[in-house]
Homo-oligomer: A and B are copies of this chain.
């Protein structure tokens, strides 16, 4: 048990770091703030990508690819956007190195200075809207429904694997529409796609809502968000979808001829999720033994470990092979680990650490009894199951585990939504973690004061109702001024 993790109760943050490293998900690289995503972590990300990509295509989107670099001047074209993104970015100033005159390595060639610096994209609205300008003349060219899978760079000072890294992987959708209504509906539709993905595949319940002006994407008219709650009571913004209005069309002068023969600026959305979702996945379900992966995203759904493998007869091996083949035929990913360099006990701990949802162990004695031991990763329970029909049993069990993991996270999340009416109470409750629904006067000043006093931010104004009086007017817990409805506060990652 060399891979023991710091228990969550002792230090949640250290538990997370331990887990990411020890489960071989990712590690820090030699480049400050940039991570290496290791094969096991990347395999989970690939499964996320595949599902999301399928959902994007089913909703009519196509993939494309836009440049990594953005001319510096582009960032300035949308006033809010430059404020949000220009501050922390990687700037390319030269295009050549040369041998150091003193013979020691290479140095930047001062003669190869770019006329205009290039920014490594922190997000691609500017370069894409500069491109769309040439694609759009008339309403017949609309809508444009593009998505891009890409890497982006934001120069973060304090980084954490998956949660906040200088370079991260993501997808960014960028759509162009004829009307306000159509763009607005698109932004909402993609928020729903994100919610469905996070709940059904990641088994993480989310609260959907709209951001306050302060928390809005730089350049958006409205930012919609899905907010998840981690086991330590902190919120994690898991995906955002932005209604951009005509802001970028105006900044890049993208006009089109309407059905009525007039000229108008194009309406836009953008939406993205990133490798940050890996952090949400890890922190929502895992325990002190390691990862707990929902079957829908587990690279290995079932591991089979033979006991006393040397005593298995050829008939027994043939039976195991048949079970493996049958499981695979049901679309289940199976790993058979008969490596004799490790003990069964070591393997049990290893696959627990890796979050494999179902473990089957089978030895000569099981063949006598006609059973197989089935262990669930989510509940850590074991039972002996008849070998006959084990394949369908496992298939159903995987479905049950997927549901159970979600339900457990949902029960926890719901137990952590509190209604608070006074600022005094708020300051006490926020220390306990979780979501707080409270009244707010709608001003950035009050929002800033709450953040300053308590480190809590407004996660969103939820669309759905979680309490009996969510949507009723009230008085701001801080200033006593009128409030239209309760908003969702939490400390967040």
Q: In A288-309, which residues have CB < 8 Å from any B CB?
A: none
Residues of B within 8 A of A29 (CB): 66-67, 127, 131
Interface status of A207 (Cβ within 8 A of chain B): no
Whether the Cβ atoms of B167 and A30 lie closer than 8 Å is no
A63 pairs with B34, CB closer than 8 A: no
Alpha-carbon distance A38/B76, docked complex (angstroms) = 25
Known: A29-B131, A120-B120. A167 touches B68 (CB 8 A): yes
Number of copies: 2
Residues of B within 8 A of A71 (CB): 30-31
Minimum CB–CB distance for A239 against chain B, Å: 20
Q: Does A36 contact B (CB under 8 A)?
A: yes
Which partner residue on chain B sits nearest A133 by CB separation? B30
Residue-wise, chain A 28-69 has the 8 Å CB interface mask toward B (1 for contact) of: 011100111111001100100000000000000011111111
Q: Verify A90–B118 contact, CB threshold 8 A.
A: yes
Contact yes or no, A91 B93, CB < 8 A:
yes
A 9-28 contacts with B by CB, 8 A: 27
Asked if B66 and A36 sit within 8 Å, CB to CB, the answer is yes
A133 to chain B, nearest CB (A): 10
- Contact (Cβ within 8 A) A146 B62: no
CA distance A90 to B97 in the complex (A): 9
Q: Is A403 positioned at the interface, with any CB of B under 8 Å from its CB?
A: no
Q: Are B31 and A69 in contact (CB under 8 A)?
A: yes
- For chain A, residues 138 to 187, give those with C-beta under 8 angstroms from any C-beta of chain B: 140, 146, 150-151, 153, 155, 167, 169
A70 close to chain B: CB less than 8 A:
yes
Known A91-B97, A95-B88, A117-B108; contact A46-B67, beta-carbon cutoff 8 A: no
Give me the interface of A with B, judged by CB distance under 8 Å: 27, 29-31, 34-39, 42-43, 46, 62-76, 82, 86-98, 105-106, 108, 117-120, 127, 130-131, 134, 140, 146, 150-151, 153, 155, 167, 169, 341
